[in-house]
A and B are shown apart, each in its own frame.
Chain A
Amino acid sequence: MSLQLEPTAEEIQSQRLYTDMGVKDHEYKRIVQLIGRKPNYTEIGLFSVLWSEHCSYKHSKPLLKQFPSSGTHILQGPGEGAGVVDIGDDQAVVFKVESHNHPSAVEPYQGAATGVGGILRDVFSMGARPIALLNSLRFGPLATPHVRYLFEEVVAGISGYGNCVGVPTIGGEVQFDETYAGNPLVNAMCVGLIEQKHLQKGIAAGVGNTVMYVGAPTGRDGIHGATFASEELNESSAEKRPSVQVGDPFTEKRVLEACLELVKSDALVGIQDMGAAGLTSSAAEMASKEGSGIDMNLDVVPQREKGMTPYEMMLSESQERMLLVVQKGREKEMEAICQKWDIESAVIGTVKEDQQLTLEFQGQVVADVPVTALTDEAPVYDVPSEEPFSYQEHQQLPTWRPKRKDHNATLLELLERPTIASKEWVYDQYDHMVQTNTLVMPGSDSAVLRIRGTKKALAMTMDGNSRYIALDPYIGGKIAVAEAARNIVCSGAEPLALTDCLNYGSPEQPNIYWQLEQSTAGMSQACNTFETPVVSGNVSLYNETNGEAIHPTPIVGMVGLVKDLEHVTTQHFKQAGDYIYVIGEAESAWGGSELQLLEDGEISGKVPHMDLDLEEKRQQQVLGAIRDGLIQSAHDISEGGLAVAVAECVMDTEFGAAMTMENNAAELFSETQSRYVISVAPEHAQELEQAIPDARRYGTVTEEKALSIKTREEQTLILQPTDTLTHVWKGAIPCLVRSKV
Chain B
Amino acid sequence: MKAAVIVFPGSNCDRDMAHALQDFTDVKTVDLIPHTAESVDRYDAIFLPGGFSYGDYLRSGAIARFAPVMESVVSEAKKGKTVVGICNGFQILLEAGLLPGAMKRNTNLKYICRTVNVKVENSGTRFTSDYEEGEVLRIPIAHGDGNYECDEQTYETLKMNHRIVFSYESDVNGSTGRIAGITNEAGNVLGMMPHPERAMETLLGSEDGRGLFTSVYHHWRDTHVVTT
Residues of A within 8 A of B (CB): 156, 159-160, 163-166, 248-251, 253-254, 341-342, 427-439, 441, 450, 565
B54-62, B97-105, B155-163: which lies at the interface: B54-62
Given contacts A164-B10, A436-B198, contact A429 B110 (CB under 8 A): yes
> Using Cβ atoms and an 8 Å threshold, which residues of chain B touch A249?
52, 55
Q: Could you list 7 examples of A-B contacts with CB < 8 Å?
A: A159-B111, A160-B111, A250-B52, A427-B113, A433-B140, A437-B204, A438-B204
- Which of B113, B197, B200 is the one whose CB lies under 8 Å from A431? B113
Scan residues 185-215 of chain B and give those whose CB is less than 8 A from a CB of chain A.
195, 197-198, 200, 203-205
Per the bound structure, the CA–CA distance linking A156 and B9 in Å amounts to: 22
Question: Which residues of A are found within 8 Å of B200, using beta-carbon distances?
Answer: 436
Point out the residues of chain B lying under 8 angstroms from A437, CB to CB. 204
A431 neighbours in B (Cβ, 8 Å): 111, 113, 142
Stretch from B12-20, B38-46, B69-77, B130-138 that touches the partner = B12-20
* Contact (Cβ within 8 A) A156 B110: yes
B203 near A435: Cβ-Cβ < 8 Å: no
Cβ–Cβ < 8 Å partners of A342 in chain B = 9
- Given A165-B12, A166-B12, check contact A436 B111 (CB 8 Å): no
Residue of A nearest to B14 (CB): A166
In Å, the complex CA distance between A565 and B201 comes to 13
Q: Could you say which residues of chain A place their CB within 8 Å of the CB of B78?
A: none
In the complex, the chain B residue whose C-beta lies closest to that of A165 is B12
Q: Cβ of B51 < 8 Å from any Cβ of A?
A: yes
Q: Is B2 located at the chain interface by the 8 A CB criterion?
A: no
Given A250-B54, A436-B198, 4 further pairs, Cβ under 8 A: A164-B56, A249-B55, A437-B204, A439-B204
In Å, the complex CA distance between A313 and B119 comes to: 55
CA distance A250 to B113 in the complex (A): 20
Evaluate whether A250 and B111 lie within 8 angstroms (CB atoms) in the complex, with A434-B13, A434-B142, A436-B19 already known. Answer: no
Interface-central residue, A431, A439, A450, by most chain B CB under 10 Å: A431
How far apart are the CA atoms of A159 and B20 in the complex, in Å?
A: 25
With contacts A250-B9, A250-B10, A431-B142 known, is A164 near B52, CB below 8 A? yes
Instruction: Say how far A432's CB is from chain B's closest CB, in angstroms.
Output: 6
Is B79 interfacial (CB 8 A cutoff)?
A: no
A257 (CB) vs chain B CBs: closest residue: B9
Tell me the minimal C-beta distance from A435 to chain B in angstroms: 7
Residues of B within 8 A of A450 (CB): 203
Supposing A156-B110, A431-B111 touch, asked if A253 and B12 sit within 8 A by C-beta, the answer is yes
Q: How many Å lie between the Cα of A160 and that of B55 in the bound state? A: 10
**Is there a chain A Cβ closer than 8 Å to B112's Cβ?**
yes
Chain B residues, Cβ within 8 Å of A435: 15-16
Q: Which residues of B106-142 have CB atoms within 8 Å of chain A's CB atoms?
A: 110-114, 140, 142
A534 to chain B, nearest CB (A): 31
Query: Quick one: given A429-B111, A434-B16, A436-B198, are A163 and B142 in contact (CB under 8 Å)?
Result: yes
Residue of A163, A435, A436 ringed by the most chain B CB atoms within 10 A: A436
Which residues of B have CB within 8 Å of A165? 12
- Bound-state Cα–Cα, A697 to B203, Å: 30
The answer for the CA separation of A565 and B112 in the assembled complex, in Å, is 28
Per the bound structure, the CA–CA distance linking A341 and B7 in Å amounts to 11
Q: How far apart are the CA atoms of A36 and B200 in the complex, in Å? A: 66
Total interface residues on B, CB under 8 Å, equals: 30
Query: Contacts of B54 on A, CB cut-off 8 Å?
Result: 250
- Nearest Cβ on chain B to A64's Cβ, whole angstroms: 36
Bound together, the chains give a CA A249 to CA B51 distance in angstroms of 12
Nearest chain A CB to B174 CB, angstrom units = 15
Q: Is the CB of B111 within 8 A of A163?
A: yes
CB distance from B194 to the nearest CB of A (A): 12
- Evaluate contact between B198 and A433: CB separation under 8 angstroms: yes
Which residue on chain A has the smallest CB distance to residue B11?
A: A166
Residues in A whose Cβ lies below 8 Å from that of B142: 163, 431, 433-434
Contacts of A441 in B (CB 8 A): 205
Contact A428 B112 (CB under 8 A): yes
B197: A residues at CB distance < 8 A: 436
Q: Which residue of chain B lies nearest to A436 when distances are taken between CB atoms in the complex?
A: B16
* Cα distance A487–B41 in the bound complex, in angstroms: 51
- Flag if B55 contacts A429 (CB, 8 Å): no
Residues of A within 8 Å of B13, CB to CB, are: 166, 434
Give Cα A351–Cα B110 distance, bound, in whole angstroms: 47
Per the bound structure, the CA–CA distance linking A159 and B144 in Å amounts to 10
A434 to B50, CA, bound (A): 9
Known: A159-B111, A429-B110. A434 touches B52 (CB 8 A): no
Q: Which residue of chain B is the closest to A156 with respect to CB atoms?
A: B110
Q: How far is the CA of A163 from the CA of B114 in the complex (A)?
A: 13
Residues in chain B near residue A565, CB distance under 8 A: 203
Q: Shortest beta-carbon distance, B99 to chain A, in Å?
A: 23
Q: Across the interface, do B16 and A428 meet the contact criterion of CB distance under 8 Å?
A: no
How far in angstroms is the closest Cβ of chain A from B95?
Answer: 17
Q: For B113, list chain A residues within 8 Å (CB).
A: 163, 427-433
Q: What are the residues of chain B within 8 A of A160 when measuring CB–CB?
A: 111
Q: Give chain B nearest CB distance to A161 CB in angstroms.
A: 10
Contact A253/B10 with A166-B51, A434-B16, A436-B19 known, Cβ cut-off 8 Å: yes
A156 to B203 alpha-carbon distance, docked (Å): 29
A-B pairs with the 7 shortest C-beta distances?
A166-B12, A250-B55, A164-B52, A436-B16, A431-B142, A431-B113, A429-B111
Query: Closest approach, in angstroms, between the C-beta of A565 and any C-beta of chain B?
Result: 7
Inter-chain CA distance A165–B195, complex, in Å, is: 17
Closest Cβ neighbor of B114 among chain A residues: A428
Measured between C-beta atoms, what is the minimum distance from A626 to chain B in Å?
17
Question: Chain B CB within 10 Å — which of A166, A249, A254, A441 has the most?
Answer: A166
Q: With A163-B52, A164-B56, A249-B55 in contact, is A434–B9 under 8 Å at CB? A: no
B 20-45 binary contact with A (CB < 8 Å = 1; else 0):
10000000000000000000000000
* B22 shortest CB reach to chain A, Å: 12
- Take A433-B142, A434-B13 as given contacts and tell me if A164 and B55 are in contact as well, using a CB distance cutoff of 8 Å: yes
B57 touches A250 (CB 8 A): yes
In angstroms, Cα B51 to Cα A434, docked, is 9
Give CA–CA (A81, B54) in the complex, Å.
28
Chain A min CB distance to B116 (Å): 11
Closest B residue by C-beta to A568: B203
- With CB as the reference atom, state the residue of chain A lying closest to B140: A433
- B51 proximity list for chain A (CB < 8 A): 166
Closest residue of chain B to A457 (Cβ to Cβ) is: B203
B218 to chain A, nearest CB (A): 23
Q: Residue among A250, A253, A434 with the most chain B CB within 10 A?
A: A434
Contacts of B203 in A (CB 8 A): 439, 450, 565
Q: Report how far A342 CA is from B113 CA in the complex, Å.
A: 29
Q: With a CB–CB cut-off of 8 A, which chain B residues contact A253?
A: 9-10, 12, 52
Residue of B nearest to A164 (CB): B52
Within residues 141 to 158 of chain B, which ones have a CB less than 8 A from any CB in chain A? 142, 144
